[in-house]
Structure formats: structure tokens, C-alpha cells
Amino acid sequence: MNKVGPSLVTSYTFKSGKEYIVKIKVTAFKTSESITLDLLTFEDLQLLRARKLERSSCSNLNNTTNNRRYLILTYTVEFDRLSDFRKIEKMYNKKFNIVNNNYSFIIWGLAIHLILLWGVLDVNFHSPIIQELPNVPILKNAPAKRLVLFVADGLRFRTFIEAPPKFLKHIMTDIGAWGISHTRMPTESRPGIVAICAGLYEDPSAIFKGWKENPVDFDSVFNQSYLSWAWGSPDIIPMFTKGAGENVHGDSYPPEWQNFDIMHGQIWRLDSWVFDKYIDWLREDAHKVKNTERVVIFLHLLGCDTTGHTAKPHSRKYVDNMNYVDWKIEEVVQMTENFFGDNSTAYIFTSDHGMTDWGSHGSGSTDETETPLIVWGAGINAFNFRQNVEQVDITPLISSLIGAPIPINNEGVLPWQYLSTNNLKYINHALLNNLKQLTYQVKANHKMNCENNGLADWREIELDNKISTFDKDSETEDLNEKLKEIVNTIKLAKKSLLYFRQYQRTRFLLYLSIIWLGWIILLFFKITGVIRPRLNSFILLITNCVFIVLVTMILIMHKVSGCNNWRLPCYAFLTMISFWLATRSIIIYTVKLKVCKSKYYWTIITGIIFLLTIMFIGLTYRFALSIGMLFITLVQKIVLKSSQSLFFWTALSLAIFPLLPVVEPYPRVYIIILSICVVTLIVALKMHSRYRKAVEIFRLIVTGLIYLECIDGRSWISWTILSTTPLYIFTYPMQLKKRMQGIVLGLFCPLVLLSASYEPFFFIILALHLSCWSQFNVSSIQVYQSTKNPLTIEELLKAAIFMLYTLLCFFGTGNMASVSSFDPSWTRHFVTVFSPFTMFLLILLKLSIPLMLIGCTSHTLGSSSIFLGVLLLGDCLSLPLMYYVTPQGSWLDIGSAISRFTIAIFLPCLIVLLHYLSYPLITFSPNKHKFYINLKKDHIV
């Protein structure tokens, strides 16, 4: 009798009852081949016994079966024509159009997550850029012929106002106007500069097209000027000069000058280069435009940002850099006034974004969104009280001072209080230009977002009537009263613009909600469902026909409506697809959410809901994660029956970290070195292999010397430690305990080089805690096949626990601001020259290292369905967060809502991804030159 061994077929699970068995009986041939059947259910076993009762080989069947769901661990039974078994399954799936391709499922899930993230940003922050809008006319008799714009990159208002530099303080109190310029998320250089010079906020589509250039064509004050010159960073200047007309000129210093190394010296070199370039232009070329109007000069000063990232914004070096900029501005202003001598130059000093205490930016905290604004010179009203503006309001201010047309996509409102009140008539004309420019956008957005029925909205009619009235100048009219009316009409234009931009917001959010719910239903049935024994192909056919009819109706309705908004049919089409797949999964599958311990059923359900609530609160308040960790200790003790003291004490230790202050501005070197000493001591006392002990102690010593800056690791040493980490891990034996030890020690050194405070201690305690999840005491690693067994309620609880671990990895050492902000000091042992892509990858690696540990631990749990459960719970968590994202409210609220939603939607995906990516770390053995797979399974009955 020929045996079909485990090398050919490892396991198969019957889940569809009689329907499968009947088809097997019909197509089978009488042979004596056999196979190992694994995890047969009780019902399936009874059917097989009836079929095979006459065969003697079935006499050894285990008669101790009971009503438990899983009965057989490993049993060899005769079977008929096993080579046809997969053909039967394929035939069955083809008949009912059942798609069991895991790759297709993963691709669809990833696409859904990207679509939802993009959709939420698109609905709330859709690109404000509309091409081919008409220009407003040039203003006559402008108060200034030229304007010099100083942008001190990364200068926050708090540091500026606490120690105001001498010259700018004199401007604020005596001859100019000043206030706070409120920026918006993301507080980065590109969107900040675009807001200042173009009057529009970040275009969501830009985040997928690169860091250094705004890839979308947009209008700016430089395009609308007669001539413009710009000097500064190579990441900013090309953004305005690339593709611009001959009226825009610019130059920038080499990219390698953007060095974050505080020991590099010449911290003012970046700013001095810009000032020197302007002075050279003033001496050599300025005479050509001495009497020319509508000239804009832009000086982008990166020194404060660079110094703030390294020395932090409350340091002496940061203040010194600010004072240096102040001194050079005074020199430039004096030279400019002496050269032109016509008192027709206006000056604006501001910043693109602020900075946190720890030297990062990107989030929505007050320190990041508040920047100084100081205006003086020709046409400026001198007052010594604060007049706050939004950052986009600077654009119409620049245009109005020199009489240039306002950029066509500007969203800002002219802060007329900054203009000299000696010429109210000009202020009225400037405000009227602003009103016309906003009205053009209102009409364009109405046409784009609403059905084109040929009728004007009452808002458009009222705006047109007001503009027509304002255009009729009268010698006897009250200019102050007219100014108030124009300002009130501008408010109506702003509200109308927001209304039409969000006209479809409710419909889009409904579409996104259905898309997301459809995905959650599909995922739920994927991990908890089994195929129904009897399927009605007619119902599936009707479902497919209804889907085709609905999609056709959507396309026809969109075509007939004449609406130019392509987003409407796209979102509707994706909604139909998600709804169709969810409906098919309900028809094809039936839920089998098993309960191993029925007496704890409601306890487990309550625990899962409680953990989800804790995670929801923990995204805003870190201390909630501590409560969650305390709850996990109770769950492990009561439900999962764990008596390990190590689990209890490490859980309590992990609960302390969310209560500690977040990682602070300066690296806590003594904490890092202490963690290295602790690990070195553990290695010296616990590791038995002398070779590995020597190698690990050497790696730890070199890491400590790099962190103490006794040696410079940026050239190759730090990169060698990082790149050889997988090779180091592969030297450990395949025994589970030792391989996990190698993973922890291998990842520890790269984490130290990317840390600033107590992150290594968190990693050590997390590693000890996760080691308690190893449930099987085996001599070699058990790599489990991806079975099709439904998820049990206990496994869903484990999924909720591991979801909490993922949030703890992010917020155990930081908060929302520290996670979503950018701090180059984390990467100082690898790179110092500004390289956004490299720095982003290194920071992503730092955040992912604790998650890699979770991913490696996951392979000891015995079921990959647990991590699909993590994905399910994470997606349920992100659904309500979608409605918290809004373009209105404070800058901090807007930024925090975006960050919470982004983290909630991508954390589960990341942990599932790392679950599969960590597979080689625990299975690859260089000695065998192959992946080691143990086909033997130990199952819990």
C-alpha cells in the first residue's frame, strides 16, 4: 500500500460538511492510497467513518471522541484518489465564484486602507488648486514698488518673543506692525512657504509625489510680480523657479551644506550665504530695476531650523542664530534704503513653522503653529499692539503692498489693519480685489462640485451684486462704511467657498463609511467564517447582476448630471465594489466564532470592548494605556490561566512608561549608557556560548562609544552595525528561546543608536514580557501553516491584547506630537546632512523595531488568524476616528485628529506586515541554507 507522506501533503481541514464529502464520494476511485488528515471536526469524522466503515484500516480510529470541536491530532486514514482532492475544491470554488486567494485578499485590504486614508484627507482637505481662473486687475498707485520677504525657517514665536532681537524689537515697538502668524498642519517647510507665497495650504496630493518640490502647478506672488529674485535652500527655491516664467530668478546653496551636526561649525553659513547673495545683487544688478514696480525679493533663511534641530530652540545657539539674522536684516535694510532712496520698499519678516522643545516639527502644537510676523516700510501702518493673522493672509498682503494681482488660488484675507490708513481708498480697492479673487473660486467650486443645472446659487448672486455695487466709485461715499461692507462680503465669500468645497462632504463620508464597513464585514467573515454546506448559485447570480446594474446607473447619472467632479463616480464605484464583496461573503460564509471556555464568554466579550475603549482613549491620553496593561495582567491570570511571575512584573513595568514624561529635548546619555551596561551584564552572566558572548559584548561596547561620541559612527561603523543585524541574528541556533534571544540582542544596538532617552529600557522590558507568550516548550521553532480554522473568541481577545501592545510601542515613550513630528537628532549617529528620505526610513525603523519584536513573538501563538484579528479590531477602532478629522477648529485639534486617524489605520497593517516579514528572522538558518519548517503540529484539545 502506497503512502502519501507529509512531504507531499501536510494538512487539510474540512469545514463545509456534507457538501464536500458528497463530492468526494462521487469523484473518488477505489484505491489504497492514504493521507494524513489533520484537525478533522467531529461532524466530518462521522461522515468519513460511515464511508470507510468496511475498511479494516479504520478499526484503529480513536473511540474517545467527544463533543469538543477539534478531536484528532494526527491520524492516517485511507482515502480515495487523493490527487483529485484539490481538483474537487477548485471545482467547488469555481462553481460559486469563491475567491480564496490570500494574495488578492491582502492586496485588496492594503488598497482599502490607502483609499480610506486618501479619501479622508481628500474629503476634508481636497486640493484647493483650480487651473485657468481669471486674474484680478493690477492695482494702481501701490504704496511700495518692491518688497523684501525674510522667512526665518523654523523660528517659533515663543522663543522670539521671550528674547526679541534688538532691531526687530525696535521695528515692533516704533515703526512697524506685528502679530502672530498661525500656520496649519503639516508644519513643514514646503507647505509653510507655499502658504506664505501662494495663499493656499498643503495639497493632499503632494504627499504622494515627493518632499522637496510641490508637484502641482500653483500660482504665487512671484508669478504675479513683474520681477522676482529668491535665494535660499535647495529644497525651497526650485519649488518656485522650476517651470516659472522669465520673471522669476533664484539660486540656492549646495544640498550638503544642510548639515545637522552641531559640531560642524559655521552654524550661520547658510544664512550668511543668502545675505551675501542679496548684497551682491544689490551692488551688481539692482540698478536695472531701480525704478521698476511690482518687484519681490525672497530670502529664505534656514539657520534657525538647522540649529533648532540640533541644539534645540531654547538653547543659546538658537538664540544666537536668531540674533545673527536680526543683525544681518538691519544691515540689509540700511543698504537697501541707501541704494534706492525712495522710501518705496516694504519689508516682511516671518517664519514658515515653529518647533517643539525637542527640536521637531510637523504636528499641530502651539509651538509649531505660532510664528512671528513683522511688517514695516512703505505703506505700513505703525502700531505697537499684536494683530494676529492666518499664514495664508500674508499672500494678499504682499500682493496689495506692491499692487500685483493676488494669486488665483489664494485663500487668505487681506489683513488691512497692517496697511497705512492714510489711503483708505486704496485699501478699499485692495480688499475689493481680494473679494473678486475669492468669488472667482466660489463660482469654479460650485461648477465643479455641484450638478451643472445652469442655475446660479443665491450666494453667487449676492456676491455679484455686492461687487457690482462696490465697483461704482462715488466721491461722496463713506470709505469707512464701504470698507466694513467689503470685509463682511469677504466673510460671505469665504463661507461660500468652504460650503461648495464641502458640498459633497456628507455624501463622500457616507461612501467612505460603507467602503470601510464592507471591508470590516469581509474581514470578519474571512477570519471567523466557514463555507456554507449548501450554496444557492442563483442568489450569487442575482447579487452580481444587481452590482452591474448599480454601477451602470451611477455612471449614467454622473454623465447626465454634467458634474465635472470625477470624485463622485469614483467613490460611488468603490462603494459598490466593497458592498458587493461584503454581500457575497455573507451569502457564501457562515460565522463560526468558537468558544473554548464557555463560562468566560461574556467576560471575554466585555474585555475586548474594554480594551478597544482603552485604546481609543489612549490615542489622546497616554495614561489610559497603563490601565490597559493592568487589565491585561488580570485577563492573563483569570482567562488565559498564566501563573508566570515574570509576565506579571513586566506588565506592571510596562504600565509605568506611559506615565513617564515623553522623550525630552536633549538626549539622556546616562540612561542610554545604563541600558547598555544592563544588557552587557545580562549577556556576560546568562549567555553560554563564548563566541557569541564576545561578539555581543564587542557590539555593545562599540555602540556605547558611538553614543558617547568617542568615535564617529556616521561614516561606516553605525551603518555596519545596522546592516549586519540580520546576519548576527542568523548565527543563533534554531531553538526558539535562543533565536528570540538573538533577535532581541540583534535589534538592541540599532535601537540604541536611534534613541534619545529610556527607549532601550522599554525595549528590554517588552522583550521579557513577550517571551512569556511562548506557549510551547519545544526544541525547535514551530512554524505553523496558515490554517483555515475559524478564529476563537479567546484568540480574538489575544488579538485585542496585541493591538494594545502595538499602541504601547508607539506611545510608551512618546505622545501624538512626538510620534508625528520630525526630529533629526534621532538619526545623528547615521546622517547629519539633510536627507529627508534617509532620515524618514531611519525614524520609521526606530518606530518599527519594537513592532518587529511583536511580529517575531506572533509566530509562537500557533495561529496567524490572531493577527487578522488585530487588523479587524484596529479597523473597528479607526472607523469612529474618521469622523473626528475636520478642517475646522484649532490648529492643534486638526493636527491631532489627522495623526490619531493615520496611526489607528496603519498600525494594524504594520503589525500584520511585520508578522510576515519577521518570518525569515526566526526560520532562516545559514547552516542549512534553507528555511526550516517543522511540519509536526501540537494542538490544544
What is the DSSP code string of 231-281?
A: EE-TTTHHHHHTT--TTEEEEE--GGG-B--TTS--TTHHHHHHHHHHHHH
Residue found by looking up cell 492643534 in the block:
892
Question: Coil, helix or strand for 936?
Answer: coil
Contact 345, 145 (CB under 8 A): yes
DSSP for residue 359: S
Contact 369, 184 (CB under 8 A): yes
Of 423, 383, 420, 410, residue with least CA distance to 490: 410
In the prediction, which pLDDT does 414 show? 96
Cα distance between residue 577 and residue 544, in whole Å:
10
Cα distance between residue 68 and residue 695, in whole Å:
50
Cα distance between residue 394 and residue 406, in whole Å:
11
Contact 806, 869 (CB under 8 A): no
β-strand partners of 419: 380
DSSP for residue 450: S
Of 800, 905, 909, 894, residue with least CA distance to 848: 909
Residues 6+ apart with CB under 8 A from 868: 523, 526, 527, 791, 799, 912
Cα distance between residue 39 and residue 606, in whole Å:
30
Residue found by looking up cell 495561529 in the block:
863
Strands 177-182, 370-377: pairing is antiparallel
Residues 6+ apart with CB under 8 A from 371: 155, 156, 157, 180, 181, 183, 350, 351, 352, 353, 354, 391
Quick one: CA torsion of 715, 721, 723, 729, rounded to 10 degrees?
170
Q: What ranges do the domains of the chain cover?
A: 28-54+65-77, 146-419, 505-591, 600-776+790-925
In the prediction, which pLDDT does 241 show? 83
Neighbouring C-beta atoms of residue 719, cutoff 10 Å: 15
All three cell numbers of 676, joined, read 547598555
All three cell numbers of 614, joined, read 482603552
β-strand partners of 389: 181
Cα distance between residue 42 and residue 51, in whole Å:
14
In the prediction, which pLDDT does 215 show? 46
**61-96: pLDDT as tens digits:** 344 433 333 333 333 333 333 333 344 444 444 444
DSSP for residue 654: H
Cα distance between residue 522 and residue 516, in whole Å:
10
Tell me which H or E stretch contains 549: helix 537-561
In the prediction, which pLDDT does 445 show? 85
Residues 6+ apart with CB under 8 A from 706: 712, 713, 717, 718, 753, 829
Question: Coil, helix or strand for 606?
Answer: helix
Query: How far does CA 350 lie from the centroid of its chain?
Result: 28
DSSP for residue 137: P
Angle subtended at Cα 699 by Cα 695 and Cα 705, rounded to the nearest 5 degrees = 145
Residue found by looking up cell 561614516 in the block:
715
Q: Which residues of the chain have pLDDT under 70?
A: 1-103, 202-216, 243, 259-267, 451-456, 473-476, 561-565, 593-600, 639-643, 663-666, 713-714, 774-790, 814-825, 832-836, 860-864, 888-893, 895, 926-941
Question: Coil, helix or strand for 394?
Answer: helix
CATH of domain 146-419: 3.40.720.10
Residue type, 80: D
All three cell numbers of 861, joined, read 501563538
What angle, 0 to 180 degrees and rounded to 10, lies between the N-to-C axes of helices 865-881 and 793-811? 60
Strands 295-301, 34-37: pairing is unpaired
All three cell numbers of 781, joined, read 521553532
What's the first-to-final CA gap in the chain, in angstroms? 31
Cα distance between residue 613 and residue 628, in whole Å:
9
Query: How far does CA 70 lie from the centroid of its chain?
Result: 42
Model's pTM, two decimal places? Answer: 0.70
Neighbouring C-beta atoms of residue 661, cutoff 10 Å: 10
Residues 6+ apart with CB under 8 A from 83: none
Peptide bond into 255 cis (omega under 30): no
Contact 372, 349 (CB under 8 A): yes
In the prediction, which pLDDT does 607 show? 86
Cα distance between residue 770 and residue 920, in whole Å:
19
All three cell numbers of 903, joined, read 496611526
Neighbouring C-beta atoms of residue 55, cutoff 10 Å: 11
Residue found by looking up cell 497692517 in the block:
418
In the prediction, which pLDDT does 165 show? 94
User: What values do phi and psi take at 560, rounded to 5?
Assistant: -70, -35
Contact 801, 632 (CB under 8 A): yes
